[in-house]
Structure 1
Amino acid sequence: MLGAWLTRGLVMAVVHAAAMTLLAKWSVFHPTDQTVITSVTLAVLVGVAALWGAVDGWLGKPDRGRAWFIASLVAGVVSGILYVIGRAVFVDQTGTAELGAALTGGAAFSALLVMVPAGLGLFVGSRVRRPAAEEEPEPEDHGPDDGSGSQSGQLELPEAEPATSATSATSAAAPRPKPSPVSRPAAARARKRPTVAGRSPSPRPR
């Protein structure tokens, strides 16, 4: 916050003091031709404040309105002091008698020339949409690769294949083995033969 309004206030004060000193110098050599140069100077001062305010609004600077309000007050007072010094050095050796007027009416006029254009710039700049930055998707971190296709520290196990309905259907449809015709009479005779308790039947001689 401190750096924001201090930087803007000092820069605008220097710009305003330089512009007013140039106008005073021009009026000495061209007393009857001041309309064009005055209009151009005012347009430059208004444009600088409006452009700077629009950039702050576009960037979304925090507390930009308060910063520009304080900066306009600082610019008005400091520009009045710098104007008196610049005029005394480069124009007509003006003394401290001009300091009172520069710190009252001149400072107020300079403050308005900063505050109003900067406020309009903030309003316009905040309505302009900033282009959305294209974010590249970050690659997923799967850990270091040991060259065998598996991650280090992890053991890949083969996935068990689930039993499908086709396999069950194939096993159900498989034909059951039929008993041979030779074993059928032998099994029937074994059932008809009498047995003795505790002894197995002895084979009948053929």
Structure 2
Amino acid sequence: MAFLHAIADTALAKATVYNPTGLLTVRIVVIALLVGAAALWSAVDAWLRREDAGRTWLIASLVAGLGSGVLYVIGRGIFVDQAGTAELQPALTGGAAFTALLVLVPAGLGLLAGGRLTRPEAANPVEPVESVDSVEPAGDSGEPAAERPRRRPSPSPRRRRTPSPTPRRE
């Protein structure tokens, strides 16, 4: 995300050199594309049920803010107008905060929307696995019995029975 934001900022700075007053529509479209990329990417993460997706996107927004600020100053210095280290302080404060919000807010909405979609496992039913354990021995007619699907192990451990305090009657 930092790389996408840095490329977008550098491209807008380069375009501003040639047309300083007529880029409002272009800026709106670029911001909408960046917001859409963050929302779509986070929605896919939520749809795939990635672990700790919210924490991941929070950290990603902070890294994207600082990383895009540094990459923007480097890109502007190389491609636009030889900006120096004096541009680094504004890019790492206001620019980084704006970029972090442009990642965090749509990512939160994407996580919310993607979490409400059906899981990919539910869309594709599990087919029975062929193995030696899943086929019953042949019956009287010599044909193999119907195949049984193997049971998946439970993700939670078994509960142990505790003996009751009263003895059993026999």
**Amino acid in structure 2 at the alignment position of 1:33:** G
For residues 154-196 of structure 1, the C-alpha deviation after alignment (integer angstroms, 9 at most, x for no partner) is xxxxxxxxxxxxxxxxxxxxxxxxxxxxxxxxxxxxxxxxxxx
1:27 paired residue number:
16
For residues 14-48 of structure 1, the C-alpha deviation after alignment (integer angstroms, 9 at most, x for no partner) is 00000000000010000111111100110011000
CA–CA separation in structure 2 for the residues paired with 1:15 and 1:68: 15
Alpha-carbon shift at residue 141 of structure 1 (Å):
2.0
Taking structure 2 as the reference length, the TM-score comes to 0.75
Unaligned stretches of 5+ residues in structure 1: 1-11, 152-206
Alpha-carbon shift at residue 138 of structure 1 (Å):
4.5
* Mapped pair 1:149 → 2:122: no
Q: Output the aligned Cα RMSD.
A: 1.9
Which of 58, 75, 81 in structure 2 is aligned with 1:86? 75
Alpha-carbon shift at residue 150 of structure 1 (Å):
8.9
* Mapped pair 1:47 → 2:36: yes
Q: Which structure would you say has the larger Rg?
A: 1
CA–CA separation in structure 1 for the residues paired with 2:50 and 2:22: 42
What is the DSSP-based 3-state SS (H/G/I as helix, E as strand, rest coil) of the residue aligned with 1:28?
A: helix
Matched pairs, number: 137
CA–CA separation in structure 2 for the residues paired with 1:115 and 1:99: 22
CA–CA separation in structure 2 for the residues paired with 1:40 and 1:58: 26
State the identity as a percent.
59
Unaligned stretches of 5+ residues in structure 2: 145-170
Residues 1:142 and 1:43: Cα distance change in structure 2 (over 3 Å): same
